[in-house]
Structure 1
């Protein structure tokens, strides 16, 4: 008897019915909504904290004994030139004991005093990083000026030819920093979505198989329609969640000191959405296969191990690869789903490279779906224990 669904004008395709069921059941689930809301709050909170940190002026108190007051005053006066986010106030103390007391009683953040071979900053229990950086720069300049005057020359003459600058073949240092941070966010979002929705998809397949509901479904619609509906439904949910996160991130970034980069991030973000879609469809199909190979929930860890390892390779590859290895990986599916968007962020990518990488990823997704569909159909109705890939591939229809 044919299992093809009826296609009269009042009947929707079976895959669309399954897709709608997946979307509606998840999007009305409190845990899904609360999880999404929590991530939105987390992203907004992180961006808000970063913006606050970027605008915050760090005020520090520097204790100084009489033999260090002049140098401490120079540090306080020159601090804004070295770091405009650091404000130094000098606390004059009578002697070393008074300076130590000021540290212990939190009246001062650090104590400046001379040593046999220079100067030392002493703090109560942890180093004051911002103050240390400012003090090092100012003390070096002051000592150089004194030594140059003693030698009958100038600081400029002593430092001639000693300057080291940095440059990038692509972009600049600030853009490179932003690209690295946003690239990590892209990699994390892909990994997070593929793992969370993939596990949910595989678990739902196992539940239907273990309860034998799938046998009733299989009598009504083709299993390929069931697979298509599950993959498309979870893909739609993942895309909705991803778009929410990206929108919150870009809007939040517009309120930070990096707001000038928001227009430049729009293009790479659009590319990331395309790569995410192709890569997620391929992985979602593999997660459905992992669920169909298992007969119990306890089997999922074993059947999903190769897929989990692949996702870890994608994550660490996306985070750590650079140079020639990154260029090569940006064309190798499915790693290209996270590596190519990072390259686009950094700039300097030829126009055809993302198109080629996305085309290869789409071909990979199509092949994965074709293989996964065959494995899914042949393993889903087999009960009595975990099914191996070889058994699923060779099983009768």
Structure 2
């Protein structure tokens, strides 16, 4: 069989075996179900009577909140809006950040401003906006406003997310989605990586690899195994992300969806290349072992690398975070986060992706070399060093 015709058959076999695995199907389905359940539950919890505590600067803000509550009770007796006078705008913002109040209502030159950490509830914004407009029009008319412009002066109600970045990026959603991206890459790399390693050692233990090697070039066997599991990992990722985006449409965060498209679009190639960069090394780790019991020792270095990437990726800040977003594998987590936050120039993700491609080529070469030199070795566990020095199968 020609080498270029062999690897697609191996990849198809990997995919078919996995899709017939009930545990894999159930775990994927359960993940999607739990994700949708959490998002829908948030929607239902938020769908009850309105109840918010607003921080205001003084009596004028309190009066607006009281009138807004009266309007809310007209359509829902269970609605509740309360005002807490905090003295000045800085204190109101601080209270909104700390969670002491749900929202802050601040007087501005243009009118009034609702502030909070996250998307503003549309119903609350409409209620307060109506009161602000009514009060401003009344005050302007009493002051002998002579035209519509004068009557409308000061009626604007704007909203501001306190986590929003200076260039308009949604900081709250960027943080949440960035954490989700990091967790998905960590779990997918660990789960499918261990699957690759387990598959390799089981083929060695059962001597099936000797039969396969007689019909399929060893390099094609490795390539097909890696490609098949990469396709499965990407498919699972797409299903989970799609389910999450659908679930978001039922929450107050749906207004942030348009701004997430670019970050998600960049995350996919970073995910695929980051996964590929590790997949051949996972296969090599499996080939170093002769029994399933030996996998823990041969895969431990890779597991530690993934833990380090995950922990460092979600904790780096400032300049180190920018530098880390160009480091292969770590960039899979950090660069999409920075894109979501609107903190990158157009060339930065391109350069980071090129670096991942170069690193991916290197790890595939090293992984293939280790795999070819150790996959036919069945008498005990090999170390990484011995495998590199061994003769090619």
The reply to whether TM is greater than 0.5 is: yes
CA distance in 2, matches of 1:315, 1:197: 16
Matches within 5 A, 1:158-307: 170-171=166-167, 175-307=170-302
CA distance in 1, matches of 2:286, 2:369: 14
CA distance in 1, matches of 2:33, 2:303: 28
User: Is it true that 1:372 corresponds to 2:367 in the alignment?
Assistant: yes
Q: Which residue of 2 aligns with 1:393?
A: 388
CA 1:242–1:55 in 2, change beyond 3 Å: closer, same or farther? same
CA 1:340–1:21 in 2, change beyond 3 Å: closer, same or farther? same
**What SS class does the counterpart of residue 252 from structure 2 fall into?**
coil
Cα offsets for 1:262-283 (capped at 9, x unmatched): 1211111010001000000111
CA distance in 2, matches of 1:240, 1:201: 16
**What SS class does the counterpart of residue 327 from structure 2 fall into?**
coil
**What SS class does the counterpart of residue 13 from structure 1 fall into?**
helix
Contact conserved, 2:35 with 2:244, CA < 8 A, in 1? yes
Contact conserved, 1:57 with 1:87, CA < 8 A, in 2? yes
Q: Which residue of 2 aligns with 1:114?
A: none
User: Is it true that 1:16 corresponds to 2:11 in the alignment?
Assistant: no
Contact conserved, 1:79 with 1:88, CA < 8 A, in 2? no
Q: Which residue of 2 aligns with 1:41?
A: 33
| Shift of residue 56, structure 1, vs aligned partner | 3.7
Contact conserved, 1:79 with 1:87, CA < 8 A, in 2? no
> Please, which of 352, 355, 368 is the counterpart of residue 350 of structure 2?
355
Contact conserved, 1:330 with 1:340, CA < 8 A, in 2? yes
> Please, which of 312, 319, 327 is the counterpart of residue 324 of structure 1?
319
Cα offsets for 1:116-140 (capped at 9, x unmatched): xxxxxxxxxxxxxx99748x99xxx
TM-score normalised to the size of structure 2? 0.72
CA distance in 2, matches of 1:35, 1:290: 25
Aligned residue pair count: 309
Cα offsets for 1:234-278 (capped at 9, x unmatched): 000011111111111111112211112112111110100010000
CA distance in 2, matches of 1:166, 1:213: 59
CA 1:131–1:201 in 2, change beyond 3 Å: closer, same or farther? closer
| Shift of residue 6, structure 1, vs aligned partner | 3.6
CA 1:311–1:396 in 2, change beyond 3 Å: closer, same or farther? same
Contact conserved, 2:185 with 2:271, CA < 8 A, in 1? yes
| Shift of residue 50, structure 1, vs aligned partner | 2.4
User: Is it true that 1:30 corresponds to 2:18 in the alignment?
Assistant: no
| Shift of residue 58, structure 1, vs aligned partner | 6.4
CA distance in 1, matches of 2:238, 2:81: 47
TM-score normalised to the size of structure 1? 0.71
CA distance in 1, matches of 2:208, 2:13: 15
| Shift of residue 286, structure 1, vs aligned partner | 1.2
**What SS class does the counterpart of residue 258 from structure 1 fall into?**
helix
Matches within 5 A, 1:139-158: none
CA distance in 2, matches of 1:322, 1:299: 38
CA distance in 2, matches of 1:40, 1:13: 35
Rg (Cα) greater in structure = 1
- Structure 1 residue ranges, 4+ long, deviating more than 3 angstroms after superposition: 53-60, 76-81, 83-90, 130-134, 165-173
Cα offsets for 1:321-371 (capped at 9, x unmatched): 121111000000111111111111111210000000011001101100001
**What SS class does the counterpart of residue 385 from structure 1 fall into?**
coil
Structure 1 segments unaligned to the other structure (5+ residues): 61-72, 91-129, 138-164
Structure 2 segments unaligned to the other structure (5+ residues): 53-61, 83-97, 106-160
Cα offsets for 1:66-99 (capped at 9, x unmatched): xxxxxxx99x958959x99995599xxxxxxxxx
CA distance in 1, matches of 2:388, 2:356: 23
Contact conserved, 1:44 with 1:252, CA < 8 A, in 2? yes
CA distance in 2, matches of 1:193, 1:46: 21
CA 1:232–1:89 in 2, change beyond 3 Å: closer, same or farther? closer
Cα offsets for 1:289-315 (capped at 9, x unmatched): 110011111111111111011101111
